[in-house]
Amino acid sequence: MTKIKTGLVAVVMLMSNLVFAQSVQEGKKFLYYERYQSAIDALEKALASKPGDPEAIYWLAQAYRENGDVPKATETLRKGMEGANGSNPLLLAGMGQMELAEGKTNDARQRFETAISLTKGKDINVLNAIGKANLEKSGDAAYAIEKLNQATLIKGFKEPDVYINLGDAYRKNSDGGGAVSSYQKAVALDPKYAEGEYKVGKVYLTQGSDQKDIFLQHFNKAVEIDPSYAPAYYDLYTYYFSRDVYKSKSFFEKYRAVADKGPALDYEEATLQFASGDFQTAITKADELLAKQGETADPRLYRLKGYSYDKLNDSVNAIKNLEIFFSKAKEGQIIPENYVTMAMLSAKFPDKQAQVDEFFNKAITSDTAQANKIDYVRKASDFFKKVGNQPKAAEWMSKVLVVNPNPGKVDIYNAGFENFKAQNYATADSIFKMYSDKYPNEVYGYYWKMRSLMLIDSTMEKGLAVPDAEKFISIAETDKVKNKSTLITAYGYLAGYNANIKKDFPKAIEYLDKIIEIDPTNPDAPKNKEILQKANKGAAQSGSAPKTSPGQSQPKSGSVNQ
């Protein structure tokens, strides 16, 4: 009888362990699909069935963290590490992650090193957890890469998730090539691992819309190999949101079928009204959800209302709702473009002018893609040009040269020209010097350096613009028709400089003849030439070069507005 009872107990325990293992695996699977509430439910059930289990504690904390609740994740780990679990390596790695989320980098590193020491650096799961932990904002990407690569060398390694975290670490370290390679290795290890295809698409997505064929291919490939992979459906839905409302709705329906139900999904459904252009209905739907769901409502509903009011030209309610959104938004819900919208709205209110620069700067610092940073700087400059604030337009256009380590000719030219228009002539001169140094065979750098220095040295006494004028002419004369007006400005300047400063009348006359050659109808050049010819004749007769009197006509250097 005792033997039978013992056997029954063993069977019950075996079944209990099986249920527990299934719950943990189910929770991890939900995390993979980014179904965080379902993951929490499954892992809470697993932990309830086997209290104190390190794996269940770690993954439940991960579910809370992914759902944006760092305090709850930390508390789960703290309680789980009481007693015998105090030095569990996996939990040490998990707690280190939460400390990184709170900016406690030294404490976190100590926990990681302890976990590695306890496992002698040979536990794949622990190394993977440490690598993942360092994906946090204050984490060390290089350290993550080191530990994750170490995990892949351990005998028996076959975890595609390690390659995913490795790819994320490379992305954090601004190494797109390393990221793509790692994600591809995850798929090579498991051809059904949709996250690998999806993450490759995410890399190309950050490189701008000109890479759309590539990132859309990978997003579609992800749902092809795993029709339940919600994140890829979500990105396809959001990509088409402002481009093709019908496609967007189609992908949303597929996303809704595999996503967790709740406030977040309700918010996404409400945004489709916005995509359809029915802004008033979007506001009404958002108000209904806010009233019904209260504190559990998705804060992004306020953003939806703000954008909808903006489309309806109601700036007062637009900025009011966006301010509420910024105050309530959860981690990851604010995107850089939201700051740009707030900057432009703030400019409409006299008491919010100081926020304009603040929000444009937040957009730049919060975006990881360099192309997007450059785009925001350009948007800021264009915005200030439209509102007639030329000094701010110049200031922002100059920032392109800081944000972009290798600016092209258009950005350098625009930065220089905006500063010229803002009468920042010294800055314009230095920027156009950058242009002429980088593109020495083009006329623009020399011409606008000349123009800037003409205004800095307005009396021509120092002759600051002479070298650039001469260099400009040497290039521009290869096409006198195309460069006619700018050549007249340069010829005029050098004629004036040689006549009034150097008293070299023959040289000045040469430049006036060049003006007459390309512009026979020029009203000033012949008159000035006649004056100089008389002055030169008189100088020859007297044996000295006479100084022009204050009232005497002088050669014109050309209008600075040419």
Asked whether the beta carbons of 175 and 196 are under 8 A apart, the reply is no
Which pLDDT score, from 0 to 100, does residue 329 have? Answer: 94
Asked whether the beta carbons of 84 and 119 are under 8 A apart, the reply is no
Q: Distance between CA 506 and CA 352 in Å, rounded?
A: 60
The residue among 257, 253, 280 whose CA lies nearest residue 269 is 253
Lowest mean pLDDT among 160-169, 253-262, 314-323, 382-391: 382-391
Who contacts 278 (Cβ-Cβ below 8 Å, separation ≥6)? none
- Residue 509 falls inside a structural domain: yes
Mean local confidence (pLDDT), 173-180 = 95
Residue 495 has pLDDT above 90, yes or no: yes
- Residue 158 falls inside a structural domain: no
pLDDT tens-digit readout, 394-426: 999 999 999 988 899 999 999 999 999 999 999
- E-state strands within 79-155: none
Asked whether the beta carbons of 396 and 424 are under 8 A apart, the reply is no
Residue 472 has pLDDT above 70, yes or no: yes
Residue 506 has pLDDT above 80, yes or no: yes
Residue 555 has pLDDT above 50, yes or no: no
Distances (CA, A) of 215 to 132, 164, 219: 24, 17, 6
Asked whether the beta carbons of 475 and 458 are under 8 A apart, the reply is no
Mean local confidence (pLDDT), 197-209 = 92
pLDDT tens-digit readout, 66-100: 998 999 999 999 999 999 999 999 999 999 999 99
pLDDT grade, residue 372 (50/70/90)?
confident
Q: Distance between CA 374 and CA 380 in Å, rounded?
A: 10
For 528-549, the three-class secondary structure string (H helix, E strand, C coil) is: HHHHHHHHHHHHHHHCCCCCCC
DSSP-assigned states of every residue in 235-273:
HHHHHHTTT-HHHHHHHHHHHHHHSPPSHHHHHHHHHHH
- Which run of H or of E encompasses 45? helix 36-49
Which pLDDT score, from 0 to 100, does residue 341 have? Answer: 95
pLDDT tens-digit readout, 26-45: 999 999 999 999 999 999 99
- Residue 551 falls inside a structural domain: yes
- Residue 491 falls inside a structural domain: yes
High-pLDDT (> 70) share of the chain, %: 92
Residue 548 has pLDDT above 50, yes or no: no
Is residue 492 classed exposed, middle or buried when 0-12, 13-18 and 19+ CB atoms within 10 A define those classes?
buried
pLDDT grade, residue 210 (50/70/90)?
confident
User: Is residue 88 helix, strand or coil?
Assistant: coil
pLDDT tens-digit readout, 119-128: 999 999 999 9
- Residue 547 falls inside a structural domain: yes
pLDDT grade, residue 558 (50/70/90)?
very low
Lowest mean pLDDT among 237-251, 327-341, 345-359, 529-543: 529-543
* Counted domains in the chain: 1
DSSP secondary structure code for residue 405 in this structure: S
- Residue 29 falls inside a structural domain: no
The residue among 93, 87, 129, 86 whose CA lies nearest residue 112 is 93
Q: Distance between CA 183 and CA 171 in Å, rounded?
A: 11
Which pLDDT score, from 0 to 100, does residue 331 have? Answer: 83
Q: What is the extent of the structural domain holding 491?
A: 480-562
- Residue 495 falls inside a structural domain: yes
Q: Distance between CA 538 and CA 545 in Å, rounded?
A: 8
Q: Distance between CA 143 and CA 97 in Å, rounded?
A: 13
Lowest mean pLDDT among 3-12, 161-170, 171-180, 356-365: 3-12
- Residue 552 falls inside a structural domain: yes
Residue 182 has pLDDT above 50, yes or no: yes
Q: Distance between CA 348 and CA 302 in Å, rounded?
A: 20
pTM: predicted TM-score of the whole model, two decimal places:
0.72
High-pLDDT (> 90) share of the chain, %: 83
Size of the chain, expressed as the number of residues it contains: 562
The residue among 346, 393, 343, 336 whose CA lies nearest residue 368 is 336
Which pLDDT score, from 0 to 100, does residue 154 have? Answer: 96
Who contacts 527 (Cβ-Cβ below 8 Å, separation ≥6)? 553
How many other CB atoms sit within 10 Å of the CB of residue 436?
21
Residue 1 has pLDDT above 70, yes or no: no
User: How close are the terminal C-alpha atoms of the chain, in Å?
Assistant: 109
User: Is residue 424 helix, strand or coil?
Assistant: coil
Residue 190 has pLDDT above 80, yes or no: yes
pLDDT grade, residue 242 (50/70/90)?
confident
Q: Tell me how many degrees the CA angle 336-337-342 measures, rounded to the nearest 5.
A: 100
Q: Distance between CA 137 and CA 358 in Å, rounded?
A: 21
